[in-house]
Amino acid sequence: MTKVKVCGIRREEEARWAIEAGADAVGFVFADSKRRIDVESAARISASLPAHIWKIGVFVNESKEKLKEIYRTVNLDYVQLHGDESVFFAEDLDLPYIKVISVKEKEDIYGIDQCPGGIILLDSGKGPYRGGNGTTFNWDYVDAGSFPQQLILAGGLNPDNVREAITKVRPYMVDVSSGVETDGRKDRLKIESFIREAKSV
């Protein structure tokens, strides 16, 4: 069964909605974004979560020192590197990490099966931010099941298209943010609908 991450969590009730609906992970955005959260609030929400829920921090071109500080303070399970961080940078962190690949053309995913690290996240390359723009990429670019890493699929997913996305790409996990929002805020009914659809494939 495909796992689900609800990203862009900013309030305790949003995390609770996600967990009650069956989410496996929540994401806190520490990069420039309309969903950015301060470290203190993220730490408070993190402390309220069950131990089995992955807590993932989203960063863009952050310093190693700041990454490690926030990782410890918020008690994260993974850092999600959404910027121009090199593989050397990621490996040198000595932290569990998720490397993001922005996909605009099929060529963007060539060679990622050679990337070290256990988890790759594929996201749309379109929009004003590095992620959370609500746009999809062409899922036909992905040769389903061909990657040795655990694959997370993101980018424009919502309750209406997540079944098709999972069927085509067969990811380990799907990642949603704007697709479960109404007027820029997390919507409980949309979260429940998304997770129900994702888990039913």
Specify the pLDDT at position 113: 66
- Domains, in order of start, for the chain: 3-199 (3.20.20.70)
Catalytic residue check, 7: yes
Specify the pLDDT at position 148: 65
Specify the pLDDT at position 68: 97
Contacts of 125 (CB under 8 A, 6+ apart): 102, 103, 104, 108, 137
138-173 as b/e, with b when 16 or more CB fall inside 10 Å?
ebebbeeeebebebbbbbbbbbeebeebbeebbbbb
Marked catalytic residue, from 38, 94, 123, 140: 123
Query: pLDDT per position in the chain (201 positions), as tens?
Result: 999 999 999 999 999 999 999 999 999 999 999 999 999 999 999 999 999 999 999 999 999 999 999 999 999 999 999 999 988 899 899 999 999 998 988 888 877 766 666 799 999 875 555 545 568 999 988 876 667 678 999 999 999 999 999 999 999 999 999 999 999 999 999 999 999 999 999
Closest by Cα among 165, 191, 139, 201 to 26: 191
Marked catalytic residue, from 7, 24, 38, 108: 7
> What is the rounded CA–CA span in Å between residue 58 and residue 45?
15
Specify the pLDDT at position 64: 96
Contact 125, 118 (CB under 8 A): no
> What is the rounded CA–CA span in Å between residue 181 and residue 201?
22
> What is the rounded CA–CA span in Å between residue 201 and residue 164?
9
> What is the rounded CA–CA span in Å between residue 196 and residue 21?
8
pTM for this model (two decimals): 0.93
Angle between helices 39-47 and 12-21 (to 10 degrees): 40
